[in-house]
Amino acid sequence: MLRRLRVENFMSCQDTTVDLKPLTVSVGANASGKSTIFKALVFLSRLQNGVPLRGGSKGEFQLEPGVTLDQLVRNGNTSLPIRFQLWFDEDPFCQNRVRHRLFENR
Ligand SMILES: Nc1ncnc2c1ncn2[C@@H]1O[C@H](COP(=O)(O)OP(=O)(O)OP(=O)(O)O)[C@@H](O)[C@H]1O
Ligand SMILES: [Mg+2]
């Protein structure tokens, strides 16, 4: 199970860490970043399923219609590294932290 997620420079998140339980309730003011965390999870699940970010046969990657990769980086600053760190438990293949780093070598 995913226990902790750290999100950096993704949409409205500069550096946000959320701890997750079997049931986690997300509460906060409008535009505080609740949906951004869920979009990070959607994004990661797309990567996990092998969706290409660049050069795919279906054209430019879009997280949702009209939302391109460059729009996912915080404030549209594509020199910033989008970074995710994930901590899992109860999965022998995922005991260690998994990192995805994007944009860093562009
Ligand atoms: N690439 C980006 N860089 C910076 N901010 C962004 C980016 N993409 C979206 N945002 C901002 O993120 C904020 C929205 O955050 P989010 O949708 O996660 O909030 P929310 O807590 O779900 O709000 P609500 O309660 O209204 O659903 C908006 O202010 C939006 O302009
Ligand atoms: Mg929302």
Closest ligand to residue 67's CA: 1
The confidence score (pLDDT) of residue 56 equals 85
Q: Which of 36-40, 49-53, 74-78, 89-93 has the lowest mean pLDDT?
A: 89-93
Q: What would the pLDDT profile of 1-54 be if each residue is shown by its tens digit?
A: 899 999 999 999 999 999 999 999 999 999 999 999 999 999 999 999 999 998
- Spell out the residues 6+ positions from residue 4 whose beta carbon is closer than 8 angstroms to its own: 17, 18, 19, 20, 85, 86, 87
Q: Is the CB of 71 under 6 A from ligand 1?
A: yes
Residue 30 CA to ligand 2 center (angstroms) comes to: 7
Counting beta carbons within 10 angstroms of the beta carbon of residue 34, is it exposed (0 to 12), middle (13 to 18) or buried (19 or more)? middle
- What domains can you pick out in the chain, each with its CATH number? 2-23+32-43+60-102 (3.40.50.300)
Residues within 5 Å of ion ligand 2 by Cβ?
Answer: 34-35
